[in-house]
C-alpha cells in the first residue's frame, strides 16, 4: 500500500516537473523569438527597454520596435497558444473525440466568417489597402461579438449532432469539414462583394498572423482568456470523471450536460476572440493536447496547463520560423497547418483502424457463438 502511494507521488511529481519545464521553455522561446525580431540589439538592451522604459538614453526607434511591434507579437503567440491549446483539450474531453479542436470542428472558420461580417457589414473595421496591416479593427467589441455569435452557431450544430444522432468521432469531424466549407464560402462571398482590396487582405487574414493585435486587443483577449482558463482549471477533476463515462461522472456528482454545454460555450468564446484579431490558426488545439498526453497521461490536472504552454511554444516557434526562414514573412497559420495536417491524418487513420478492429472482433465472436 505504502509503495503504491509512493509510486503515485513520484509519477505526479514527474508530471508536474514536465509542466513546469514547459512553462520555463515558453519563457525562453518568447525571449529568443523577441531577440530574433531585433537582431541588432543585445539581450541586455532588450531587457533594459522592457524594464527601464523611462531611461532617456533609449533610442525612440528601439522603444517603438520593442513595445509596438515585438512585445505585442510575442504576447499574441502566448495568449493564442494558451487559448487554442486549452480549448482543444477540453473539447476533446467533453465530446469524447480525439480529433476534436476548434479548427477541425469548424468553429475557427465560423469565427472567421463572423469577424469578417463584423468588419465588412457591421462597421467594426475597414480595409485600407493590400498589406498585412490593411484590415483596421476600429471597434473590437463588434468584431469579437459577431465572431462569437457565429462560433456559437457552429458549436450548436456540433452539439445537436452529438445529442441527436450519436455520430462517431470521424463523422463529427466530417461535419466540421462541411461547416468549414460553408463558412469559407461565406467569407469568399464577402470578398467578392465588398471591393477590390477585400480579396487579398481577408485571404491573408484567414491564414493567421500574430502581428495584427495591438495592446487594446491584447487586453481584451487576456481578460477573456483569464476567466475561461480559470473555469477550465477549476473543472479539471470533473473532466477526469467525464473521461470514465457519463454515468460514472454523474454518480460522482458531476452535472454532465451542464458541464458539456458550458465548456463548449466557453471554448467557442475563446476561439472567437483569438480568430477575431489574429485570424485562423490551424491545429494548435489538436497538436498541443495530443503531444502533452504522451508525456503526462490523461490527467487533466496536467493536460490542461501543459496544453496551454505547448500551444504557446508551438506558436512562438512557428512564428519565429515564419519570420526568419525566408526573405518574406510566412503567416503562422500556414506553418501550423503543415505541422498539424500529418498528425490529423494519423489520428484519423488510427481511429478507423481501431473501429474496424472492434467490428472484426465482434463478427468473429458472433461466428464462434453460432458454431457452439
Helices (H), 244-331: 246-251, 256-278, 284-296, 300-324
Return the percent helix, strand and coil in the chain, to nearest 5: 80, 0, 20
Evaluate whether 198 touches 129 at the Cβ level (below 8 Å): no
Which residues share a beta bridge with 333?
none
C-alpha to C-alpha distance for 32 and 190, rounded to whole angstroms: 39
The C-alpha cell 469579437 sits at 144
Take residue 259 and report the three cell numbers written for it.
458541464
Which residues share a beta bridge with 136?
126
Residue 304 is part of a domain; what is its CATH number? 1.10.3470.10
Strand, helix or coil for residue 212:
coil
**How much is the pLDDT for 368?**
57
Reported as a single tens digit per residue, the pLDDT across 297-311 is 899 999 999 999 999
Average of pLDDT values for 126-149? 69
Counting the structural domains of the chain, the total is 1
Residue 18 sits in which domain range? 2-371
pLDDT greater than 70 at residue 292:
yes
Of residues 285, 291, 289, 279, the one with CA closest to residue 322? 279
pLDDT greater than 80 at residue 364:
no
**How much is the pLDDT for 205?**
63
Which of the two residues, 63 and 79, has the higher pLDDT score?
Answer: 79
Residue 359: pLDDT band by 50, 70, 90 thresholds? very low
User: Please, what's the b/e burial string for 75-85 (b: 16 or more CB within 10 A of its CB; e: otherwise)?
Assistant: bbbbbbbbbbb
The C-alpha cell 533594459 sits at 48
To 10 degrees, the CA torsion angle through 22, 212, 263, 142?
160
Residue 363: pLDDT band by 50, 70, 90 thresholds? very low
pLDDT greater than 70 at residue 112:
yes
Angle among Cα 149, 154, 156 to the nearest 5 degrees reads 90
Which of the two residues, 369 and 321, has the higher pLDDT score?
Answer: 321
pTM over 0.75: yes
Which of the two residues, 40 and 284, has the higher pLDDT score?
Answer: 284
Poorest-pLDDT segment among 90-94, 138-142, 204-208? 204-208
Number of residues that this document lists for the chain: 372
Amino acid at each position: 500500500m505504502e509503495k503504491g502511494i509512493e509510486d503515485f507521488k513520484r509519477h505526479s511529481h514527474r508530471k508536474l516537473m514536465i509542466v513546469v519545464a514547459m512553462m520555463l521553455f515558453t519563457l525562453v522561446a518568447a525571449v529568443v523569438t523577441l531577440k530574433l525580431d531585433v537582431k541588432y540589439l543585445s539581450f541586455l538592451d532588450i531587457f533594459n527597454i522592457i524594464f527601464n522604459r523611462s531611461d532617456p538614453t533609449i533610442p525612440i526607434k528601439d522603444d517603438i520596435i520593442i513595445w509596438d511591434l515585438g512585445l505585442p507579437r510575442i504576447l499574441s503567440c502566448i495568449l493564442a497558444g494558451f487559448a487554442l491549446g486549452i480549448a482543444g483539450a477540453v473539447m476533446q474531453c467533453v465530446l469524447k473525440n480525439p480529433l476534436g479542436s476548434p479548427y477541425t470542428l469548424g468553429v475557427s472558420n465560423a469565427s472567421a466568417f463572423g469577424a469578417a461580417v463584423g468588419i465588412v457589414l457591421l462597421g467594426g473595421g475597414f480595409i485600407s489597402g493590400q498589406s498585412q496591416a490593411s484590415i483596421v479593427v476600429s471597434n473590437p467589441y463588434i468584431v469579437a461579438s459577431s465572431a462569437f455569435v457565429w462560433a456559437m452557431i457552429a458549436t450548436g450544430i456540433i452539439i445537436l449532432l452529438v445529442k441527436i444522432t450519436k455520430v462517431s468521432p470521424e463523422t463529427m469531424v466530417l461535419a466540421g469539414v462541411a461547416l468549414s466549407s460553408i463558412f469559407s464560402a461565406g467569407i469568399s462571398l464577402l470578398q467578392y462583394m465588398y471591393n477590390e482590396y477585400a480579396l487579398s487582405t481577408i485571404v491573408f487574414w484567414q491564414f493567421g498572423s500574430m502581428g495584427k493585435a495591438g495592446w487594446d486587443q491584447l487586453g481584451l483577449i487576456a481578460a477573456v482568456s483569464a476567466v475561461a482558463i480559470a473555469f477550465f482549471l477549476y473543472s479539471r477533476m470533473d473532466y477526469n470523471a467525464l473521461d470514465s463515462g457519463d454515468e460514472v461522472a454523474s454518480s460522482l456528482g458531476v452535472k454532465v450536460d451542464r458541464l458539456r454545454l458550458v465548456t463548449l460555450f466557453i471554448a467557442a468564446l475563446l476561439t472567437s476572440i483569438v480568430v477575431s484579431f489574429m485570424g485562423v490558426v490551424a491545429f494548435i488545439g489538436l497538436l498541443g493536447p495530443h503531444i502533452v498526453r504522451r508525456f503526462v497521461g490523461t490527467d487533466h490536472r496536467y493536460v490542461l496547463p501543459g496544453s496551454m504552454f505547448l500551444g504557446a511554444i508551438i506558436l512562438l516557434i512557428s512564428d519565429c520560423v515564419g519570420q526568419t526562414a525566408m526573405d518574406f514573412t510566412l503567416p503562422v497559420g500556414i506553418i501550423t497547418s503543415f505541422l498539424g495536417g500529418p498528425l490529423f491524418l494519423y489520428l484519423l487513420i488510427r481511429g478507423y483502424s481501431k473501429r474496424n478492429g472492434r467490428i472484426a472482433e465482434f463478427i468473429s465472436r458472433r461466428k464462434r457463438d453460432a458454431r457452439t
